[in-house]
Chains A and B, each alone.
Chain A
Amino acid sequence: MVDTETFVPDAVAEIEDEIGDANAVIALSGGVDSSTAAALAYEAIGTQLTAVYVDTGLMRKGETDEIRETFDYMDSLRIVEAQDRFLEALEGVTDPEEKRHIIGEQFIREFETVANEVDADYLVQGTIYPDRIESEGTIKSHHNVGGLPEVVDFEGIVEPMRDLYKDEVREVARALDLEEVVSERMPFPGPGLAVRIIGEITEEKLEVAREANHVVEEELEEYEPWQALAAVIGKATGVKGDNRVHGWVVSVRSVESRDGMTARAQEIDWDTLQRIQSRITGSHENVARVVYDVTHKPPATIEYE
């Protein structure tokens, strides 16, 4: 386990050393990795760092507001409202890898604009050890690593947490006094709710995914899951009132894990599952059924795409 008493000052010194008097940017996703990396870098170089948060429209409920609040102390925080541009770019796209690719590309474009504006020479990234491994293998392309550096011509890339595991990053976040909401925050994938929607991303499915994720996180909090989520996985028949509906199927997933490399589907009591089901189907006319995913990792992955 990482020794935060030496890690934090060492990381701050390393960032100072590499960046010197130059300007740097970091893409802030709201997840624990980029938040922690941003806090380390801000401690090292202050307002020479511009933290850029791009609202892709694929965020969780209330996420953008929380970010605004948590990082209020950074004078150089930039929030880019890009929801419409992302949804437009994703129109009609169903292939999971292509979706990730499009989101990555659009993200780079938004980020590049700010990086040029503030004249940034350095890129700080919250890459952690498993990101590097998963990108080397064939499991999934990773949001943190792909694309950015090839497009924007940075003088250098600083990855202060490149050798850490997720549980170790949380230790660092705690040592940095990052608010509970960040240090205990559940992992949220870079492409956001897009990987929790099978097939094309539409406003309608996004709305269902966003609300359902909110319900699941709220109801399962006491189980202290490593990750709890809801995904819109397809359509099926239902009957509501006296009408047949062909509505969305929402899959609920809740897992415990140390590092995300393996995961166990949690045993949730029936009443809680029923309450989740009722809240989701009750408030969304277009949801026909709710299912619970019992598959561990392996053989399944934690996220759906």
Chain B
Amino acid sequence: MTKIVVVDNHGQFTHLEGRALRDLGVDTEIVDNDTPPEEVDADGVVLSGGPDMDRIGKSADYLEADVPVLGICLGMQLIAAELGGSVGSGEYGGYADVTVDIVDDDDPLTGSLHPETRVWASHADEVTELPEGFELTGQSDVCDVEAMSDTDRDLYGVQWHPEVAHTEEGEEIFENFLAICESQ
């Protein structure tokens, strides 16, 4: 059975990421973000959202662990910050209902949602510059970088919350991520 762990960055929706994976029939576990990747045996990793970039523990170490990674909200921002991109406060906070334009219909994570998808978001900061190797895969009126992918390293990020009930096609993001993990 495929195993995907959720690294908990103290987000209020972390447990819903666990639930979404559980509902897909994936073997899943929520681990504290102080857990080093060597202690975790998984086929894929979800970096959860959270309140503060100073409380991400060892999350960044998972980017070197050679398994697919999906960063959600702060989880995506930390990927950008860690790999040479940048993060700043947006002009306009993204809360609740947002319509995201899916830029690339070939993208393994978000492509199947092309051309647009309605999501639920909750963030003040956003990715302001993509790290090297990443492509922009989603954008919206309130946030320029809603999603990004590096398919060579299998690192993915979404700014919105696919795990909450109000995101219309949230499950599909997890299904697509599962397919990415299984094709390894």
Contacts and interface: CB of A to CB of B under 8 A. Distances in A.
A136 to B, nearest CB: 8
B19 A165 contact: yes
Interface residues of B, number: 19
Contacts of B164: 261-262
B165 interface: yes
Contact of A296 (B12, B16, B97): B97
Contact of A261 (B13, B23, B51): B13
Residue of B23, B93, B161, B165 ringed by the most chain A CB atoms within 10 A: B165
A244 B163 CA distance: 50
Interface stretch (A72-80, A127-135, A186-194): A127-135
Given A296-B97, A298-B96, A264 B16 contact: no
Contacts of A264: 96-97, 166
Given A264-B96, A296-B95, A298-B122, A259 B12 contact: no
A297 B96 contact: yes
Contacts of A133: 12, 14-15
B3 interface: no
Given A133-B12, A137-B12, A296-B97, 17 more contacts: A129-B15, A130-B15, A133-B15, A134-B12, A139-B12, A257-B165, A257-B166, A259-B165, A261-B13, A261-B16, A261-B164, A262-B161, A263-B166, A264-B96, A296-B96, A296-B166, A298-B95
Contact of A262 (B10, B14, B19, B165): B165
B15 A262 contact: no
Nearest to A265: B96
Contacts of B16: 259, 261
A139 B90 CA distance: 23
The 9 closest A-B pairs by CB, nearest first: A258-B165, A296-B96, A298-B122, A299-B95, A262-B164, A262-B166, A298-B95, A262-B120, A133-B15
Interface residues of A, number: 20
Nearest to B15: A133
Contacts of A165: 19
A253 B13 CA distance: 23
Nearest to B120: A262
Nearest to A133: B15
Nearest to A297: B96
Interface of B: 10, 12-16, 19, 23, 51, 93, 95-97, 120, 122, 161, 164-166
Contacts of A299: 93, 95-96, 122
Nearest to A167: B165
A296 B122 CA distance: 11
A139 B51 CA distance: 11
A270 B96 CA distance: 23
A163 to B, nearest CB: 10
A261 B12 contact: yes
B171 to A, nearest CB: 12
Nearest to B19: A165
A263 B120 CA distance: 10
A266 to B, nearest CB: 13
Contacts of B93: 299
Interface in A252-305: 257-259, 261-264, 296-299
Nearest to A168: B19
Nearest to B165: A258
